[in-house]
Amino acid sequence: MPGTLALVGGAEWRDGCDFDAQLLAAGGTTEVLLIPTAAAYEHPDRLTDTAERWFADLGATVRTLPVLTRADALRPENVGPVTEARCIYLAGGSPMHLRSVLKDSPVWDALLAAWQAGATVAGSSAGAMVLCDPMVDPRGGALTLGLGLIEQLAVIPHHDTWSEDKAKRTLHIAPAGLPVVGVDERTALLRDSEGTWSVAGVGEAVAYLNATPTDLSVLP
């Protein structure tokens, strides 16, 4: 049975993101495995510092896996920590870089296997986008290929600050029957091990089907 999945709308690890305690509990762990790939060109060390401070307040520790390039995702020594992890967090940054690094890699295969075996997997902003297939391209709002941990679902992160034009474009070009969910910052769209969806955090997650707001029951 797969573990809990969290698709976070961005602005992670700050006041209002108390759902992170729920993610740790779901994974039965006090350690987060942080994969900072999407922030490879945006000072990933600062990202680690932020995560460490936030999770320390929740009584947890952070282990950062240095997967920043395609070569890193192919290294055998980076597979074991993912296989053993009970709570895996994909940080925000560039979804295009994150996808190109992880796609068809041993690290991605290990993450998928860990989730299917019950580990919690969370992705924020870029991390949330690539976990879905199709994936929203933040450059213009079009849909492109994602990694597909969850298929037939697209997510718009930063929904409360996203360009209205891009959001409308995404909704109107989405194929008929494809759910699209806009997730606000400091908010998580959660899927538990039984496949039930819910929302936690300070904002909202709005589901759309055929460009019309609907409820979470349409999600896969």
pLDDT > 90? residue 68: yes
- What's the pLDDT score for residue 141? 85
pLDDT digit string (tens) for 89-141?
Answer: 999 999 999 999 999 999 999 999 999 999 999 999 999 999 999 999 988 88
CATH superfamily of 5-218: Class I glutamine amidotransferase (GATase) domain (3.40.50.880)
Buried b (16+ CB within 10 A) or exposed e, 74-102: eeeebbebbeebbbbbbbbbbbbbbbebb
**Average pLDDT value for the chain:** 96
Domain residue extents for the chain: 5-218
- What's the pLDDT score for residue 219? 97
- What's the pLDDT score for residue 166? 77
pTM score, two decimals?
0.96
pLDDT digit string (tens) for 147-205?
Answer: 999 999 999 999 998 877 877 889 989 999 999 999 999 999 999 999 999 999 999 99
Of 139, 140, 126, 132, the C-alpha closest to 168 is 140
Question: How many other CB atoms sit within 10 Å of the CB of residue 44?
Answer: 21
Q: What is the mean pLDDT of residues 206-219?
A: 95
